[in-house]
Amino acid sequence: MTLEKNREKIIEEIKKRTGNASDVSYKDFPIDKKIITLVYANTVSSASSINDFILRRMDEEKNHLKIDDLFSYVKNYIPNNSLKEITTMEDALYYLFNGFTLIIFDNESKIIAFENKAQLNSPIQRSQNEQSLKGPSDSFTENYETNTGLLRKRIKSEDLWFNEFIVGKKSKTKVALFYINGVCNQKLIDNITSKINNIDIEYVGSTNYILDAISNPNRAIFPTNLTTERPDFACQMLLQGRVVLMVENSNQVIILPCMFIDFFKNPDDYYEKGLNVFGTRIVRIIAMILAILTPAIYISLMSYNLESIPSGLLINFSIQRDGVPFPTVFEILVMSFMFQILREGDMRFPGKGGSSISIVGGLVLGQAAVEAGIVSPITIIIVGISSVASLAFSSIELINSIRWWQLILIILASLFGFVGVMFGCIILIALLASHKSCGKSFLAPFEPFNKNAQKDAIILDKTSKLHPQNVYTKEDNDEENN
């Protein structure tokens, strides 16, 4: 809706569309025989900024303002680093609730908007979910401009480009797509841009809203999108030809495309020696295998494949299970469920007491369950190994995926023994191999095999670290969706 050349009608329309909101202020400012009106939202605007840089300045010089061309004089006279000329009511309301002060004139179909945002965001802090041991400790915040600056200060090249979108019919949230021009595949950019333009939702609260909107339902539970709160890691991925999606009011960014091997990487890997990184990544791979397979293999051995256990160890297991009235699968499920409850309590408990409660709770519950004869000691060991192994990963989506596949394999092991475990592993690998992330194979660079990309897969080659290459996205794979 274009603006009318009537100040009072414009104000009336703003009041109508906002429901005469109590946090929107209207201040008339007389200049000679003319009146201009300042409109701003108290809750998202800085009162001191409006007073110091607009009202006080205009009051001091109002006798010198040129009445014949008041619009141009105010536009050029009041100092402000962000000034907008608005011609539609939709833009006026967007900037009003984005911390801008609207200046409305008589006989003008345009509005001047000065930025006077209030500081409603948390400052730059240390990364909480991705702890830094040797690298930078700063992390993204909820401030869109600050997050952009964190990328700009690391990559000062003119080739760092980004496209900006407004997503959400009600929230009108900014979403930016960052990429390195000349490095990132243009087909990848067009693919993601098309997905963002087709998003039709009312509200965007965080990066997860965008992930859900651009991702098709997965055939496997493992996530095909990578999020991070570390700007140094995001820059490293940009230099590899990935794209980074930044969402306003979110302290995490999305990295696309995402490969399965990315979940075994850590931002601090790029500050370590290659040999140490190789050992660490092998540990993480083993940790995932232990987290998923340990309970299922134990159940299959104790329920169906006793002949596979050495006689001495079998006698020891039998002694420990003497007096336990429940089957092995029931023991595993009960104790796994209790450990998951303790983990959730640790994550959700306010303050710093969650870790102590979960540790003490685990010890007390485990010891009490063994003494009561509900579970055997070996069951506590098996569940403990699986739970501790899952702690090697910081991604909540990946941890939840491990939980689900752990449960699936437990059920298959209880029904079919070791054959069921092998069948479940085959299904898991087949689903991972059939997955795509923005049209790229989820198991890259192993399937399809990419020799150059192996330098930053399990082994971190010095050349790959110092001279990142576009090894994941330059191949023209079929453009399948996630």
Q: What is the pLDDT of residues 372-418, one digit of tens each?
A: 778 888 888 898 899 889 888 888 888 888 989 999 999 999 999 99
Query: What is the phi-psi region of residue 325: left when phi exceeds 0, alpha when psi lies from -120 to 50, beta otherwise?
Result: alpha
Tell whether the model's pLDDT for residue 217 goes beyond 80: no
> Token digits for 400?
């939840």
Beta bridge partners of 24: 41
- The tokens describing 58, both together, are 């205009």
Q: Cβ of 20: how many Cβ atoms within 10 Å?
A: 9
Q: What is the rounded CA–CA span in Å between residue 217 and residue 284?
A: 27
Assess contact for 437 and 449: CB atoms under 8 A. no
Give residue 219's pLDDT band: very low, low, confident or very high (50, 70, 90): low
User: For residue 480, what pLDDT band results from cuts at 50, 70 and 90?
Assistant: very low
Question: Residue 253 burial by CB count (10 A; 0-12/13-18/19+): exposed, middle or buried?
Answer: buried
Q: Is the pLDDT reported for residue 180 higher than 90?
A: yes
Mean pLDDT along residues 168-191: 91
Q: How confident is the model at residue 479 (pLDDT cuts 50, 70, 90)?
A: very low
In angstroms, the CA 29 to CA 405 distance is 66
From 46, 434, 477, 453, select the one nearest 216 (Cα to Cα): 434
Q: Which residues pair with 243 in a beta bridge?
A: 256
Query: Do β-strands 243-247 and 173-180 pair in parallel, antiparallel, or remain unpaired?
Result: antiparallel
pLDDT band at 19 (very low <50, low <70, confident <90, very high): very high
Average pLDDT over residues 475-482: 43
pLDDT band at 133 (very low <50, low <70, confident <90, very high): confident
pLDDT, tens digit (0-9, with 9 covering 90-100), for 225-255: 889 999 999 999 999 889 999 999 899 999 9
Quick check: 164 pLDDT over 90? yes
Torsion of CA 178, 130, 121, 193, to 10 degrees: 20
- 290 or 268, which is more confident? 290
Tell me what the pLDDT averaged over the chain comes to. 84
| Confidence at 162, pLDDT banded by 50, 70, 90 | very high
* Percentage, residues of the chain above pLDDT 90: 33
- Give the C-alpha separation, 194 to 211, whole Å: 14
Instruction: Tell me the mean pLDDT in the region 349-376.
Output: 68
- Higher per-residue confidence, 356 vs 283: 283
Band (150; pLDDT cuts 50, 70, 90): very high
Which is more confident, 42 or 132? Answer: 42
pTM: 0.82
Q: Which structure tokens are listed for 395? A: 């991604």
**Could you give phi then psi for residue 246, rounded to 5 degrees?**
-110, 135
| Residue 438 confidence (pLDDT) | 83
Residue 408 has what pLDDT?
93
Task: Enumerate residues 6+ apart whose C-beta is below 8 A from 184.
Answer: 238, 241, 242, 243, 470, 473
Dump pLDDT digits (tens) for 270-303: 888 888 889 999 999 999 999 999 999 999 988 8
pLDDT of residue 481: 44
What share of the chain has pLDDT > 70, as a percent?
91
Mind spelling out the 3-state secondary structure of the chain? CECCCCHHHHHHHHHHHCCCCCCEEEEEEEECCEEEEEEEECCCECHHHHHHHHHHHHHHCHHHCCHHHHHHHHHHHCCCCCEEEECEHHHHHHHHCCCEEEEECCCCCCEEEEECECCCCCCCCECCCCCCCCCCCECCCCCHHHHHHHHHCCCCCCCEEEEEEEECCCCCEEEEEEEECCCCCHHHHHHHHHHHHCCCCCCCCCHHHHHHHHCCCCCCCCCCCEEECCHHHHHHHHHCCCEEEEECCCCCEEEECCCHHHHHCCHHHHHCCHHHHHHHHHHHHHHHHHHHHHHHHHHHHHHCCHHHCCHHHHHHHHHHHCCCCCCHHHHHHHHHHHHHHHHHHHHHCCCCCHHHHHHHHHHHHHHHHHHCCCCCHHHHHHHHHHHHHHCCCCCHHHHHHHHHHHHHHHHHHHHHCHHHHHHHHHHHHHHHHHCEECCEECCCCECCECCHHHHECCCECHHHHHCCCCCCCCCCCCCCCC
pLDDT at 156: 92
Please give the pLDDT value at position 482.
Answer: 46
pLDDT confidence bin for 340, thresholds 50/70/90 = confident
pLDDT the model gives residue 216: 66
Tell me, what's the pLDDT at 29? 86
**pLDDT for 477 beyond 60:** no
Whether the CB-CB separation of 437 and 258 falls below 8 Å is answered with yes
Q: For residue 335, what are its two tokens?
A: 């104790």
pLDDT at 10: 92
pLDDT band at 359 (very low <50, low <70, confident <90, very high): low
> Which pLDDT value is given to residue 190?
92
In one-letter notation, the amino acid at residue 192 is I
- What is the structure's pLDDT at 476? 43
pLDDT at position 308:
79
Taking the mean position of all CA atoms in its chain, how far away is CA 426? 30
Report yes or no: 143 and 133 within 8 Å, Cβ to Cβ: no
